[in-house]
Structures are given as C-alpha cells and as structure tokens.
Amino acid sequence: MSLTLRPRLDDHGLGLTGQRARDRLIQRLQAEGIRDPRVLEVMRMVPRHLFVDEAIAGRAYEDNALPIGSGQTISQPYIVAKMTESLIEPGIPARALEIGTGSGYQAAVLAALGIEVFTIERMEPLLRQARRRFRQLGLEGVRSRHDDGRLGWPDASPFPAIMVTAAASRVEPAWLEQLAEGGLMLAPVGEAGGVQRLRRIQRVQGEFVDTDLGAVSFVPVLPGIV
Ligand code: SAH
C-alpha cells in the first residue's frame, strides 16, 4: 500500500491526542466491522484532533460526532471509515467530489489515500478553517470551493467518485450528471433530524444502480451560501 501522507501528518499528537488514543480508535473500528487495511491505516495517521476545537481535542479519538461550530458536526469516525471503505471498495478512484467540507477531516482522509479531492462547502468560516488545516498538514492538493454543493462542480466533472456528507432530501440531478460512467456515489438521503438512509449509487452503462447501506444521521444539505 502506498500512502501519500507527508511526514508532517504524523508529527502531531501528544497525550490524549496521541498514538495510543488513535490505536484504540482503530481497534474499535475493527471491532465494529471496518476491514480494509488502507482505511484503518489512514484513519490511524490523519490527526482528527486538529479538525476540532482545541477545547475538545481530547475527545477527538472517541467514536463520536463532535461540534465544529456554526451548528455543524464532524462525522463520527465509524461513519467516515464506513463511507471511505465503501467508496474505495471497487478500487481507489483518481478523483473524488465531496459535498460538505465541514471540518475538512473526510477530505483529508480521502486525500491521504492518494485521491485528488474536490470539496464544496456553503459556510465560509468553516471552509476557511478547513483550508488552513489542509495547508498545515501539507495537503495542498485538496481543491475546495465556497458554493452551493447541490450544483456539484461541473467544470471538474465527471467524477469517478462522489461523497455527500450532509443529508439530502433528494439525490441532486447535478450529482448524477457529474458521476462518471462506472463511478460510485455515496449519499445520505432523508429528512434532517430524522433517520436517513445511506445510498450507494453506481453508474453502470448509463443506468444508476442504487443500494441501501443502512441508517445514518447527518446534518442537512441547505440551500445557498453563507
Ligand atoms: N465532511 C465533513 C462533515 C460535514 S457536516 C467533515 O469531515 O467534517 C456537513 C457539512 O455540509 C456542513 O459543514 C454544512 O455546512 C455543509 N453543507 C450543507 N449544505 C451544503 C450545500 N448545499 N453545499 C455545500 N455544503 C453544504
């Protein structure tokens, strides 16, 4: 396996945010059924504590969603692992579109696998912080955009992989259009506050093959930019 992590990615972490806490999280993810060694390895290496406020950094390696400000959350590590595992199951895609940059953690995990990431966030303060983290970790290759992710990223499409990390009330037509032939999209679909279903949509010979991967709970996809 070749990871494209730069040494800087591993230079952080002491005490509660250190390697022991990370190793415990990885054991827990394994116990919960995450099997792909590539996913376990990147999640051990990407410093999740740098993607949350310093005040709660000590909780970064618990398997919980955590607040990241502006009413948004960084997804639970198990969900990040599960979605990443599903996305790379057919092979690691060269490029991926992410809707909902949030803290930037999911984008960093994908980038650390060697994927060229295009990520869209509607809330500027979150995007600014995420960009600072990408720079800090040497992940300058992550491309990000302040925009309404419902429109996708037409000029960089088609994408062999699309990951939506907020709950959509529907699968947006733009995402389907921008999914490459043979490509794979993961999207939580359902009403905010309620339980949503994680859908895996593969484009096979022009058709969309839709599989239900189970119940998830994400903050909603909202319209417009702020
Ligand atoms: N992937 C993130 C989790 C993000 S939470 C992480 O790893 O931290 C969902 C994010 O989606 C929030 O930051 C929210 O602002 C963003 N979002 C919601 N609707 C959006 C839209 N229409 N376009 C882009 N981003 C959106």
The verdict on residue 120 lying in a domain is: yes
CATH number of the domain where residue 107 is located: 3.40.50.150
Cis peptide before 173 (omega within 30 of 0): no
The verdict on residue 93 lying in a domain is: yes
pLDDT for 14 beyond 60: no
Q: 205 CA distance to ligand 1 centroid (A)?
A: 30
Give the model's pLDDT for residue 13.
46
Q: Which of 92, 90, 102 lies closest to 42, judged by CA?
A: 92
Ranges assigned E (strand) in 53-205:
66-69, 72-74, 95-99, 116-121, 143-146, 159-164, 179-189, 196-204
Per-residue buried b or exposed e for 30-62, using 16+ beta carbons within 10 Å of the residue's own CB: eeeebeeebbbbbbeebbbbbbbeeeebeebbb
State which residues form the domain around 155.
64-215
Q: Whose CA is nearest to atom 12 of ligand 1?
A: 102
Quick one: tokens of 131?
Answer: 């960009």
The verdict on residue 92 lying in a domain is: yes
Ligand 1 atom nearest to CA at 108? 7
Give the model's pLDDT for residue 16.
57
Contact between 52 and 12 under an 8 Å Cβ cutoff? The reply is: no
For residues 47 and 13, give the distance between their C-alpha atoms in angstroms, rounded to a whole number. 7
Ligand 1: does its nearest atom lie under 6 Å from the Cβ of 166?
Answer: yes
Ligand 1: does its nearest atom lie under 6 Å from the Cβ of 222?
Answer: yes
Work out the pLDDT band at 191, boundaries 50, 70, 90: confident
Catalytic residue numbers read: 75
Return the percentage of the chain with pLDDT > 90, whole number: 87
Ligand 1 atom nearest to CA at 102? 13
Residue of 95 and 140 predicted with greater confidence:
95
At 211, is the secondary structure helix, strand, or coil?
Answer: strand
The verdict on residue 69 lying in a domain is: yes
The verdict on residue 10 lying in a domain is: no
Mean pLDDT of 135-156: 96
pLDDT for 8 beyond 60: no
Q: Total structural domains in the chain?
A: 1
Mean pLDDT of 161-180: 98
Ligand 1 atom nearest to CA at 80? 7
The verdict on residue 36 lying in a domain is: no
